[in-house]
Chains A and B, each alone.
Chain A
């Protein structure tokens, strides 16, 4: 029992004591995943809205594609971005591999299809309800897509947070393109994987706590936001 208790106590001391190394890792994790989620929203939400209201050839195929890409394995995304960014790759000249920017790119690629597919569902439901009214008022499909994105903003916050949850929790993609370099590209998940394999359980556990807490807090905020929006805007 002691083997379990002792790391737990040390982990708690790390968190409570505001350990600098721990704080750096957590902050880098948050910065990378927030940036990746923002990019994914800017790219994925318009794509999702246009897939919901648009009429163009290949629309159905794209919907199936984006739904399928929701389940992209992070290691595969990591590998693809690695190939793109490696010295010999098409984007090799920028020297981005093993940097936080590479991690942001990989997570953005991973999360964009999730945001797009979830957005499409939200907007498609709204479109069913609003379609005739918007067309009657003379809204083009592009304009309708923009209107519905704004109208569905509270439901869409859940899509964004689902994307963020995926980004902050994945380990495969950031491990491959970031390289898990101490003090440079080490994030919560890669540290947990490394420290556990090294047998340094307190740090791994402390990060585990924080990771779970972050995910829970985000979901609580999302839940509260939906409730508030429901009450204030209907």
Chain B
């Protein structure tokens, strides 16, 4: 396997006496990594620590070379403005000139198939469309690492498939993908590597085929049995 783009060492996060992330050490080298685990295991927290939204109590994140990042959340947050202005907002914060912002914004919207809706008020779009706007907003930044926290958890199957297609396209455009999902089929289709978290700790890290066919730990075996339809 190629060299790690992130090395996590002894990472812990304690809040109000509860350990949400407990002494996690992890090397991420795959292009597409999916974090699996039961509810409350600490998946979302780990993603937020990596993205820098949370600060660890102890431990460290080591980036061999700093990566530009973007994150897509479970519930898309849309500003009360047009679809295009929502996509452009992130670009403006990065300091691009107005014309360049618009060009990149339109391009990103076209990539997610929403160019026809660019002047619509973003908050009046369907949940699936809003999530695609959120993906366009992230994609427009051309991040080297895209983090997604259960991006399809509140979407219908058709919207989920569309979001999945877009995530694949973003990965193909060169970004590393780090995401969580509850959809095992999606994890199987998207991941190169699986990181399995149980009870605030890393229980298992394996290539996708290996994880689904021969999970090593009892926790992962139980999880797969319970989650498989």
Contact = CB atoms under 8 A, between A and B. Distances in A.
Interface string B66-91: 00001101000111110000000110
B90 A138 contact: yes
Contact of B73 (A132, A139, A151, A234): A132
Interface string A105-130: 00000000000000000000000011
Contacts of B122: 234
Given A147-B79, A151-B79, A137 B121 contact: no
A2 interface: no
B124 A143 contact: no
A151 B80 CA distance: 5
Interface string B205-227: 00000000000000000000000
How big is chain A's contact interface, by range? Answer: 10 to 19
B71 A233 contact: no
B93 to A, nearest CB: 5
A233 B70 contact: no
B189 interface: no
A10 to B, nearest CB: 49
A122 to B, nearest CB: 12
A213 B81 CA distance: 34
Interface string A28-47: 00000000000000000000
A87 interface: no
Interface string A142-172: 0100010001011000000000000000000
Contacts of B53: 132, 135-136
Given A132-B53, A136-B70, A233 B93 contact: no
Interface string B87-105: 0011001100000000000
Nearest to B76: A133
B123 interface: yes
B51 interface: yes
Interface in A215-234: 229, 232-234
Interface residues of B, number: 21
A228 to B, nearest CB: 12
Contact of B121 (A133, A138, A143, A233): A233
Contact of B77 (A130, A229, A233): A130
A229 B81 CA distance: 11
A137 B79 contact: no
Contacts of B79: 130, 147, 151
Contact of A133 (B77, B81, B123): B77
Nearest to B79: A151
A154 B79 CA distance: 13
Contacts of B51: 136
Contacts of A153: 80
B89 A137 contact: yes
Nearest to B121: A233
B80 A233 contact: yes
Contacts of B124: 232-234
Interface string B123-135: 1100000000000
Contacts of A138: 90, 93-94
Contact of A143 (B73, B77, B93, B137): B93
Interface in B164-183: none
Given A136-B71, A143-B93, A129 B121 contact: no
B174 to A, nearest CB: 20
Contacts of A135: 53
Nearest to B90: A137
B93 A234 contact: no
Contacts of B70: 136-137
15 contacts: A130-B77, A132-B53, A132-B77, A136-B51, A136-B73, A137-B137, A147-B79, A151-B81, A232-B121, A232-B124, A233-B121, A233-B123, A234-B78, A234-B122, A234-B124
Given A129-B77, A234-B78, 12 more contacts: A130-B77, A132-B48, A132-B71, A133-B77, A136-B53, A137-B70, A137-B141, A138-B94, A143-B93, A147-B79, A229-B80, A232-B121
Interface of A: 129-130, 132-133, 135-139, 143, 147, 151, 153-154, 229, 232-234
Interface of B: 48, 51, 53, 70-71, 73, 77-81, 89-90, 93-94, 121-124, 137, 141
